[in-house]
Amino acid sequence: MSEKKKTAGKVINLPNTLTLIRIGLVPLIVVFILIQWNDKIVWNVITACVFVIAALTDLFDGAIARGTNQVTSFGKFLDPIADKMLILGSLIALSGSARFSYLSLALVVSSLIILLREFTITSIRMVASREDGTVISANFAGKFKTAFSCAAVVIILLEEVIFRDGGLLGVHLLSYAALAISVILTVWSGITYMIKYFSYIDPRR
């Protein structure tokens, strides 16, 4: 077997396939969020279920990769990209959906902050990879941020399902709180990455 085929076999494994499935589900989730369904409650539940399935692939791909010794540089690179696509794609779609117009401003601001953080960390990853081949994978702060951001999307989708029009206390309190915490965790995780890998962006170098 050629070296090229061996490499392909290592790249196209179950964990990376799950990551690709997560990416593939993003357009479906975006469509489900943006379309004006007649029964928004039912479709909010369906959208939340599809989103949860996509989010769970993030849990399983990492666990399987570590448990079966199938961790690859390609997987380390692709996994955070899939997370960004899932979370940012969903938040941006929510901000543009008439069903969630009450959250539009908060969603836009949150999306911009998250996008800035992701752009910064991705830039650091690119510099590290180019300089010495270092592949920066997600740390605990990044994983916790991702998990809560996924939870925030589910909360936004389901708050009116649980509390009906107006959400908790009539002001969608859960959705606003979830977005606020998600942004705080996003900034916190970004700072931890910048501190740990500051040597790659140190202006004194």
Please report, for the domain that includes residue 16, its CATH number: 1.20.120
Question: Quick check: is 66 in a domain?
Answer: yes
Question: Angle 27-29-34 (CA atoms, 0-180°, nearest 5)?
Answer: 95
pLDDT at 178 over 80: yes
Question: Angle 62-48-168 (CA atoms, 0-180°, nearest 5)?
Answer: 120
Instruction: Give the 3-state secondary structure of residue 137.
Output: coil
pLDDT at 24 over 90: yes
Question: Quick check: is 159 in a domain?
Answer: yes
Question: Quick check: is 155 in a domain?
Answer: yes
Confidence of residue 91 (pLDDT cuts 50, 70, 90): very high
Using CB atoms within 10 A of its CB, is residue 81 exposed (0-12), middle (13-18) or buried (19+)? middle
pLDDT, tens only, 114-142: 999 989 988 888 888 888 877 777 778 88
Domains contained in the chain, number: 1
What was the pLDDT predicted at 63? 87
Question: Quick check: is 34 in a domain?
Answer: yes
Sign, Cα dihedral of 95, 148, 32, 25 = positive
Question: Quick check: is 73 in a domain?
Answer: yes
Question: Quick check: is 191 in a domain?
Answer: yes
What percent of the chain shows pLDDT beyond 70?
Answer: 93
Question: Quick check: is 204 in a domain?
Answer: no
Whole-model pTM: value is: 0.86
For helices 40-67 and 140-163, give the axis angle rounded to 10 degrees.
160
DSSP code, position 39: S
Q: Residue 55: which domain range?
A: 3-198
Cβ atoms of residues 87 and 156 within 8 Å: no
Query: How confident is the prediction for the chain on average, in pLDDT?
Result: 87
